[in-house]
Structure 1
C-alpha cells in the first residue's frame, strides 16, 4: 500500500500539472516543447498491466487549438528500492507513448539521495539498442525555494523544496517562503500543504514557523500528526541514549579511571539502550576503561 508520503508527492504533481514539465526543464535540463496546456490524464494501463499496477501520474503537454499531444510525462514517486520497477517502468513509457501518440519521458521523483541513485540506473530491456534511462529528480535537483514571490506563484514547488531540503540550513527560509504562498491557497490545500511543510522541517525551523503562525495551530492531517509524533519519539530516544552514554563516562571518571578516546567515541556512538545499561553496571567494577568494551564483546 502506498505510504502517506508517497501519496502527498503524487498529489503535488496532480494539483500542479505543469510541475512535471517544470522539473524536467528547470531542474534536470531536459528540453520540453512549448505547450498551451498541461493535463493530467488517466494513469490506468490495464490493457497490459493488472489494475493495481499503474503509473502514479501521467501528464500530457498539449499544443494548439486542436490540443495536440506534444509530449507525455510519466511521473513515478519512488521512496524505496523495488525490483519490479525496472520491468514496469518501460511498459509505462511504451504504453503511454502508444496511447497518446507522442514522445514520452519517464520522470522518477525520489527525495532520498541513495534511492535516487538506484532509480537512475539504466534499464536494459534485452532488445539491442533499447535501454531506458530514467530521468530522476533527486533531492539535489529540487530547487531551494526561499523567495516569497516564487513560492506564491508555485506553491507545489516550495512544498517539494521543503520535503527535499527541510533538514538543511535553508529550512527556515523555505518555511517562511511557504507562508507567503499559503494565503493564496484554498482551505484544503493550505491545510495539507502546511502540514507537509511543517512536518518536513527540522525542529528549529518548525519552532520558528509555529511561532509565526497563529496561536494554537494544530496539525490538520493524519500524515503530519504521525510524522511529527515519530520525530518526537525519535528525539526522546536520542536524548535518553545521550544521557546514558554520559552516565557511563561520568562513572568511569568518578572512579579515577582514564577514558581513552576510542572508548569515549564508542560509548557516545552507541545506539543500544540495553548495551549502555550493561556498561553503566560494568563501570562500577572494571579496573580499566577498555575492559568495559571487552566484557560485552565489543
Structure 2
C-alpha cells in the first residue's frame, strides 16, 4: 500500500517541478536550463490487465528546443521486481514519446539508495543489450541544510532535505532551519511546504518535532492545505471511478481521454461525468457540454 511519506517524497516535485534542477546540482550532473516544465500522465499501462505507473513524470523543455522526460520514483525499500519495471518504464516512455527519458530514484535510507544506484544490465553479461543507470538521491548525497539562510534560498530543496534526512541525527537542526525559512515566504506557500514536510516525515520522531515547531512558530500557516489534500484525493477517486465505469462498458477511450478525466479537479464536473459513464457510447458524449462551452 502506498504510504503518505512515499507520496510526499515524489509529489514535492509535482508541487514545485523546478526542484529537479536543484536535484541535478546535488548529483553534480549538468542539465540545460529549462524553459518550461510540465506534469505528464503517469499511467504507463500498455495492455490489460497489467498496469504500470511511474510515481511522477515531468516533461522538461530546454533552451535549444530539446525535451526530456524525467521519471521520478520514490523507493522506501529494496524491491527485487523494481529493476525490471524501471527498464520497462524507460523503454516504453521512449517508444511512446520519442523524448530521452531519465530515471531519478529518491530514497530515505542509504542502504536502499545504494541498491537503487546499481546499473541494470539486460542481455549477455559481456555485452548487455540494454543498460539502465538510475540517478539516485538519498541521505548519502542530499545536503543536510541546517542554515536558515541557505534554506530560505531554496525552500523546495530544504523541504526535500528534511524529508530525506528525517531519520538522521541532524534532523532537528534541518527542521529548525526550514521552519525559520518558511517565515520569509508567503502564507500559502509556507502552508504547502509545511504540510509536505509533515507528510513526508512519516511515522518518525522528527514529525513530532516538526508539529511542535509549527504549533509554536507557524501556527497561522499550519493546516491551511489539509483540506486541499483531501479534496485532491476525492477528485482522484472519482476520476478513477469514471474511467473504470467506461472501461467496464467497453466505451473506447484514448490516452488523451483518460488524461483529461484524471486532470479534472472540479467535483461537480466529475460527478456529471460519472453519471453519464453508464449511458454514453463514446468519449465525445461524455465531454459534450464542456466541449460545446469551450
- Give the TM-score band, short-chain normalised: 0.5 to 0.7
Task: Specify the alignment match of 1:258 in structure 2.
Answer: none
Task: Specify the alignment match of 2:188 in structure 1.
Answer: 186
Task: Specify the alignment match of 1:296 in structure 2.
Answer: none
Secondary structure, in 3 states, of the residue corresponding to 1:71?
strand
Larger radius of gyration: 1
Aligned CA RMSD, in angstroms, stands at: 3.3
Q: Deviations over 1:51-73 (max 9, x none)?
A: 64211111121135xx9443221
Task: Specify the alignment match of 2:33 in structure 1.
Answer: 34
CA distance in 1, matches of 2:119, 2:15: 30
Task: Specify the alignment match of 2:82 in structure 1.
Answer: 85
Alignment of 1:86-125 (within 5 A): 86-125=83-122
Q: TM-score, normalised by structure 2?
A: 0.63
2:61 matched to 1:62? yes
Structure 1 unaligned runs (5+)? 223-298
Q: Describe the shift of the 1:117–1:212 C-alpha distance in structure 2 as closer, same or farther (beyond 3 A).
A: same
CA distance in 1, matches of 2:76, 2:144: 20
Q: Deviations over 1:121-169 (max 9, x none)?
A: 2212226432112111121111111233443343332122112223444
Secondary structure, in 3 states, of the residue corresponding to 1:139?
coil
Pairwise CA distance, 1:77 = 0.6
2:206 matched to 1:209? no
CA distance in 2, matches of 1:140, 1:118: 12
Would you say how many aligned residue pairs link Structure 1 and Structure 2? 219
CA distance in 2, matches of 1:198, 1:89: 25
CA distance in 1, matches of 2:121, 2:48: 20
Q: Describe the shift of the 1:49–1:164 C-alpha distance in structure 2 as closer, same or farther (beyond 3 A).
A: farther
**Alpha-carbon contact 1:151-1:181 (below 8 Å) kept:** yes
Greater RCO (Cα-Cα under 8 Å, separation 6 or more): 2
Counterpart selection for 2:72 from 59, 72, 75: 75
**Alpha-carbon contact 1:106-1:134 (below 8 Å) kept:** yes
Q: Deviations over 1:244-274 (max 9, x none)?
A: xxxxxxxxxxxxxxxxxxxxxxxxxxxxxxx
**Alpha-carbon contact 1:81-1:118 (below 8 Å) kept:** yes
CA distance in 2, matches of 1:166, 1:204: 11
Pairwise CA distance, 1:82 = 1.7
Secondary structure, in 3 states, of the residue corresponding to 1:89?
helix
CA distance in 1, matches of 2:141, 2:167: 16
Secondary structure, in 3 states, of the residue corresponding to 1:121?
coil
**Alpha-carbon contact 2:198-2:211 (below 8 Å) kept:** no
CA distance in 2, matches of 1:72, 1:136: 16
2:198 matched to 1:195? yes
CA distance in 2, matches of 1:151, 1:206: 15
Q: TM-score, normalised by structure 1?
A: 0.62
**Alpha-carbon contact 2:4-2:199 (below 8 Å) kept:** no
**Alpha-carbon contact 2:22-2:157 (below 8 Å) kept:** no
